[in-house]
Chains A and B, each alone.
Chain A
């Protein structure tokens, strides 16, 4: 009976979402306060019912209700409780439910924290979020019902894909969706602004903390996914330019551009139409990502079940939402190039260059991702572009960004003088050159590493110089407001990321070896001794566990235990052993026994040393932190409607931040 209640809850949520999307729009159009007032209660009610449906699905997993098809397909009696919760979003139906749940979390947060904004505006924003919710609830109810029954009820279920049985699975999808779906808020703000047609720019200020927070979540989700792939898949890589990874990376790239464009529009009034367009793009790419992952249109390692009916549905929804919003943009976007003029050397120009690079990078990733499809469409056979394409073009596009980054904060809005810039150029340039020389001593002519160190030093020293300038020139308490602190953190993350990527890419050593118990292999100065294989068991798997002792210069560095697990349904999954460190990771993956009948004999092992790889994720986490910190700036918390009204009348004061 309970699963049917879940379905009923979804139907009620759909009805409330319809009310939330239609009535406030009419209210805002006709100036009817009663209809506009429907938005908040309808959003709250919808969230309650979506939450209830989600809870019922969790409950069904926790209580082994195998009469629910989705539960029977993705869990069994041996699966530990935490993976049974993660299994809720382990396959298509549940992950769509998670999508809608998170959309509701954002909607309710917006309904709560928008009391000071004009009612007309908030009703429109909530209505747009309601429309998106309607689309996804219909999708779930008509094509992907997670509450479908399976009769007769089987005694036990199938298994959750072993790759997904990892702590990363409990964490990565919800956080990633928080980011993906969070861009819906910036999207809704833009649509509301287009519908309102007002020329004012205060909505951008209201939208900024939401965009920054969503982007922070997206950064965190991507980092979590990358780390998970690294530790679980046994390839030792951290990014594969896989279509599904790209699907999350494209909104992230556009998100970077959007965050900066919003800053320009808020403070200077320029780039209005561009900011609107970017917020449409960011969320459109989130939807497109959902489409790519869910329609199975591109084959990928994430290999979700494909169903043409679902693909067709999402495509129609995509066409309505994205096509509709772009059409609205064409009709209503601000016609006059508003805002203050800016000179060639100004902060606006620098941000514009960065924006251009990030947008082109997103387009480049989109083209690469869809290339196999283009190949089919133009009938030039199966073609796909892989890491060589992305690995060449992406750094090329990011190079100008890196070069400009230290100057950014020093540049003034409108027009900047060049004297301070040449000072930065000299100091950061000397620091970068010095670091490059020092690095050259250690890495023996690895150009990539030297470039990485120099580039990171260039960026980091630029940040430190700016921090010092603020320290000298500003009174206490006003030196680093949250918005600026966030910017500094995120930019510092860029430096960490660059050094991590280039050092680990160029200095990593991989060896595939065949070792009998007692034999050693040396990789990157570390001696890996293989001490044979033992049997071990987990809650729902048995494993052969290699014992590998790592020594360096005669002293013990780590005991490592790579596993080859066999899950309850004969699915085999390797679990690599990683010994993490700030300057290097040691990584061991267990391959196959040379003779399947003699597991006590020699085994194939893959050994890696990966210098500085952790800095990649460290950089990502700094960027995430930057997003969150700047979202928390008090300046964004508009208190009264009067104040909001004032910002409409008098353009925002010129701010140095």
Chain B
């Protein structure tokens, strides 16, 4: 009987692989849902880029919805996203916080100076520790946080005009319609 153990182990493995094929054909394997959606955003206290003595925290932002856009001067895709933000950030109707991720302050300032600053306020996370709480695994990423401090939408990768029109704007609209 013990000689059948390898066979049964393989049957289990084959079942798992079969499931994998089925699952992959039924889902988009590249979509990574954030476990944080509809959960309270992690608490954060981070200094402002232009004045490190001033802190911005989750508590100080409570009350109305805002957008957190993770960027960095070293990040190539952020350069692609930047013109889109420059053009549309003011039309979103909510404050946009730039979250400077694992970056030197001087580099970030130079970068914003050169490409323009679409953000209402820029906070810096040089160590990247707070970003771990947010589950950031690369830049750019964007979080929509509502007035109660709950994450309502997340985008991994650059915001494009299509993404803003089809995903972000509707998400903001539902927040504003909600009580």
* A contacts, CB < 8 Å to B: 273, 277, 280-281, 284, 288, 291, 295-299, 306, 308, 311-312, 315, 318-319, 322-323, 326-327, 329-330, 333, 370, 373-374, 376-377, 381-382, 512, 514, 591-592, 594-596, 604
Contacts and interface: CB of A to CB of B under 8 A. Distances in A.
22 contacts: A277-B6, A281-B6, A288-B13, A291-B17, A295-B17, A297-B17, A297-B20, A297-B21, A306-B24, A311-B20, A312-B21, A315-B18, A322-B14, A330-B4, A330-B7, A333-B3, A373-B17, A376-B19, A377-B20, A377-B23, A595-B114, A604-B74
B69 to A, nearest CB: 19
A322 B10 contact: yes
A578 B23 CA distance: 42
B106 to A, nearest CB: 9
Nearest to A324: B7
A326 B2 CA distance: 12
Contacts of B17: 291, 295, 297, 315, 318, 373
A377 B20 CA distance: 8
A319 B14 contact: yes
Contacts of B166: none
A381 B35 contact: yes
Interface in B100-122: 107, 110-111, 114
A295 B6 contact: no
B177 interface: no
Contacts of B74: 512, 591, 604
Given A370-B16, A596-B79, A604-B74, A308 B21 contact: yes
Interface of B: 3-4, 6-7, 10-11, 13-14, 16-21, 23-25, 29-30, 32-33, 35, 74, 76, 79, 107, 110-111, 114
A360 to B, nearest CB: 14
Given A323-B7, A329-B6, A592-B76, A382 B20 contact: no
A301 B56 CA distance: 37
Contact of A326 (B7, B18, B19, B110): B7
A434 B55 CA distance: 53
Closest 9 CB pairs of A and B: A326-B7, A330-B3, A308-B25, A297-B20, A311-B21, A330-B4, A373-B20, A326-B6, A319-B14
Contacts of A297: 17, 20-21, 24
A320 to B, nearest CB: 10
Contacts of A306: 24
A382 B34 CA distance: 9
A604 B76 CA distance: 11
Contacts of B79: 592, 596
Nearest to B2: A330
Nearest to B75: A592
Nearest to A331: B3
B21 A315 contact: yes
A326 B10 contact: yes
A370 B13 CA distance: 9
B32 A382 contact: yes
Contacts of B33: 381-382
A308 B24 contact: yes
Contacts of A514: 107
B34 to A, nearest CB: 10
Contacts of A596: 79
Contacts of A280: 6
Nearest to B6: A326
B14 A323 contact: yes
B7 to A, nearest CB: 4
A450 to B, nearest CB: 29
- Residue picked from B6, B11, B16, B79, most chain A C-beta under 10 Å: B6
Contacts of B107: 514
Contacts of B11: 323
Contact of A373 (B4, B7, B19, B76): B19
A296 B29 CA distance: 10
Contacts of B13: 288, 370
B23 to A, nearest CB: 5
A373 B16 contact: yes
- Residue picked from B3, B17, B110, B111, most chain A C-beta under 10 Å: B17
A376 B26 CA distance: 12
A376 B3 CA distance: 30
A314 to B, nearest CB: 9
Contacts of B18: 315
Given A373-B17, A591-B74, 13 more contacts: A295-B21, A297-B17, A297-B21, A297-B24, A298-B20, A319-B14, A329-B6, A373-B16, A373-B19, A381-B35, A382-B32, A594-B114, A596-B79
Contact of B7 (A288, A291, A327): A327
- Residue picked from B3, B107, B114, most chain A C-beta under 10 Å: B3
A377 B16 contact: yes
Given A308-B24, A373-B19, A382-B32, A315 B6 contact: no
- Residue picked from A298, A319, A591, A604, most chain B C-beta under 10 Å: A319
A296 B14 CA distance: 15
Contact of B14 (A273, A295, A315): A315
Contacts of A311: 20-21, 24
A123 to B, nearest CB: 26
Contacts of B16: 370, 373-374, 377
A319 B17 CA distance: 10
Contacts of A377: 16, 19-20, 23
Nearest to B24: A297
Contacts of B6: 277, 280-281, 326, 329-330
B4 A299 contact: no
Contacts of B20: 295, 297-298, 311, 373, 376-377
Contacts of B25: 308
A369 B14 CA distance: 14
A345 B173 CA distance: 74
Contacts of B111: 594
Contacts of B4: 330
B29 A299 contact: yes
A297 B17 CA distance: 8
Contacts of A333: 3
Contacts of B114: 594-595
Nearest to A604: B74
Nearest to A376: B23
B177 to A, nearest CB: 29
A315 B15 CA distance: 10
B158 to A, nearest CB: 15
